[in-house]
Structure 1
């Protein structure tokens, strides 16, 4: 019975989060709740990936390449939803680890294509079950109908936010590139110092 009580307790890192949601702000915005839920799932997967010395940042790219190998770095960026410099950095690190290799097409030397190595391909059998385990843990205690409703709600949120972004005609309402943001911060910092 004591072991059951121990396993029912939240981990020390989740205690403050649960107290926050249950006691401090039980009616806080949905965006905060979604962010904390995603963070908890990412932490769960991150802990498991570390057993195989795979970073969470590489996980997203591996997943994409397991489904469609031989993408350009730009296509890989688009699929992962990250900026091209982020993909370049990740692919460089993954290449050093022996997970991927870059190749140029003899017909088109402009584009660099990313391919999994045998080592990168073999990680799928080890890592996918870890992600499945995190998903199973995350929905413990929920009925199948509740999981379907949660999926519908989250997909609707994603669709609504994508539609909002796509329909925005205001050029100021877009996500700036890392370089643009850096320049903006530098410029504002210089303006602040000169005033």
Structure 2
């Protein structure tokens, strides 16, 4: 990561915070959540880069640490991305030695994704980085505030999922 990246990241954070505190303190929740997400991702990306891991690989690794042997399609669904995105990421991850892609003897059509020993070892190095980002983000918040925020965000996710379900049902 270039030397100017931390300075640029700080400038971005300062502008976002100023926007929310001064310009539009009552702007839509979607924008607030988006800016918080971007902050989380910038912070995590900076830490992952120190270990030569791309942010785009993080999502797939996280899923595979919980359950490997998924098909590319299942992994795409779990990650919430399109299959072509998953295919590109998996090719790169295979080249880096994080995953192996296999056909099963009983199903030659699907390709299943497994972690390599290196991919498995990354969990011990990378999960603490994500935990650190979360701790930084939650600094100064009480347990009650964290619980209320978590419930509120989960309610938003449920409401939006219900809206999508109704929209698709026509």
SS for the counterpart of 2:11 is coil
> Which structure has the larger Rg?
1
**Equivalents in 2 of 1:84, 1:39: separation in Å?**
23
Structure 1 stretches of 5 or more lacking a match?
A: 1-9, 172-195
**Equivalents in 1 of 2:33, 2:121: separation in Å?**
32
Structure 2 stretches of 5 or more lacking a match?
A: 1-8
Are 1:50 and 2:38 matched, yes or no? no
**Equivalents in 1 of 2:135, 2:96: separation in Å?**
29
Give the aligned partner of residue 120 of structure 2.
121
TM superposition score normalised by structure 2:
0.92
Are 1:142 and 2:141 matched, yes or no? yes
**What is the count of residue pairs matched by the alignment?**
162
Q: Cα RMSD (Å) of the superposition?
A: 1.3
**Equivalents in 2 of 1:168, 1:93: separation in Å?**
36
Give the aligned partner of residue 3 of structure 2.
none
Give the aligned partner of residue 6 of structure 2.
none
SS for the counterpart of 1:103 is strand
Instruction: After TM superposition, give the deviation of residue 169 of structure 1 in Å.
Output: 4.1
In terms of fraction of residues, the more helix-rich structure is 2
Q: Which has the higher contact order (CA 8 A, sep 6+)?
A: 2
